[in-house]
Structure 1
Amino acid sequence: MTNPMRFNARIFDESFLDQCDERISAFYLMWKAKCKEGRIPARSDFDPLDMVKFLPGITLVDVERDTLELTYRLVGTNEVAVRGNDPTGKKVKDTFLANNWEDVWGNYSHVIKNKGVAFDDSDMPNSNGVMVGDETIFVPLSQDGEFVNMVMLYSIQRKAAG
């Protein structure tokens, strides 16, 4: 990446709702509504027909139980366009879109280990080298309500700050 990303915010609690784009807020509230009795929702709790407006910005990442290795399962069309390629089926560690692995793992590990959310607001170059603002929320999914076997991300792009 020729131009490095610039972090504007990284937040691990609901205080991101005070500054995030309304689309991020709407996605988070939809996910939170699926958290019944304090349990993390499963992928099967989400009907794609109810999520049509979010689908272009959705990324699903599988979490391997023993190693916590991350693999892109599904990458939405907006995300593919920003990257300039489709990393579906590839390891996150080999194809992430950030300055370094530690930044990436910081978000994923929080979501996986704490069963919480992560919000990341950065300015980054898109596939054409143009700096764009990128807000991403990471939320956990769990087949059994305990182990986070998948992380769902929703990202939006806007004109970069400054």
Structure 2
Amino acid sequence: MKKDLIIGDADNFRRLILDLPPPASLGAGLCRTWDYWNRKRDGRTAPQRRDIDPIDMGRDLPGLVLYDVVRTASPATVRFRYRLTGSDTDRIHGRALKGHYVDSLDPPAFATMLHDDFSVMTVRRAPQLAQLAFRNADGNRRSYEALRLPLVDDQGQVVMIMVYANHGQPQP
């Protein structure tokens, strides 16, 4: 697996952008989600939200997250709201995230990185595979991969982002 680009380091946090498609070595859930999204896009840049049914994700639902893209009166301002969160994501963050905004996450460096990556996606309409490594509040190292996939409306504008995360286990 080629590590394309080191995007940022902050607050004991590191993110790499990896090549797509996800290699099998990163886990079957990432590969199944990638295959599902590709089937649903059917040759288009991205599938529409109505093409996606989270129930189709079956055993991968615990790692699935859907974010609403919330555009404000200012064209330059966009926010991202948790629409659906799988149990793995809520467990990792220690709270139910449905209805919360990405910019309310801790640590702030993580919130900023996620907001910036999603903002790029709303413009490019291209999927992202990110590997994240950090030290959590308990002092344990965590590393996981997240496949981030745009969903569009009838005009091709990104209106939702679907993410599957392979959260892995904490390491002392």
TM-score bracket for the superposition, by shorter chain length: 0.7 to 0.9
Q: 1:97 to 1:74 in 2, by over 3 A?
A: farther
Matched letter for residue 68 of structure 2: D
Q: 1:100 to 1:56 in 2, by over 3 A?
A: closer
Matched letter for residue 14 of structure 2: R
Q: CA RMSD in A?
A: 2.6
**Aligned counterpart, 1:72:** 82
TM-score, normalised by the number of residues in structure 1: 0.81
Q: 1:118 to 1:27 in 2, by over 3 A?
A: same
Per-residue CA distance 1:15-74 (angstroms, 9 max, x = gap): 654763332122111111111231421222123332111211111111123432211111
**Residue among 92, 114, 128 paired with 1:82:** 92
* Larger fraction in strand: 2
Matched letter for residue 88 of structure 1: K
1:148-159 matches, within 5 Å, as: 148-159=158-169
**Aligned counterpart, 2:36:** 30
- Aligned equivalents of 2:34, 2:108: Cα separation in 1: 22
Q: Percent identity?
A: 23
Q: 1:15 to 1:57 in 2, by over 3 A?
A: closer
Partner SS state of residue 88, structure 1: coil
Aligned residues: 158
- Aligned equivalents of 1:21, 1:97: Cα separation in 2: 26
2:145 equivalent to 1:135: yes
Q: Which has the higher contact order (CA 8 A, sep 6+)?
A: 1
Per-residue CA distance 1:91-146 (angstroms, 9 max, x = gap): 11112667344422332122211110111111234565432221101100112150
* Unpaired segments ≥5 residues, structure 1: none
TM-score, normalised by the number of residues in structure 2: 0.77
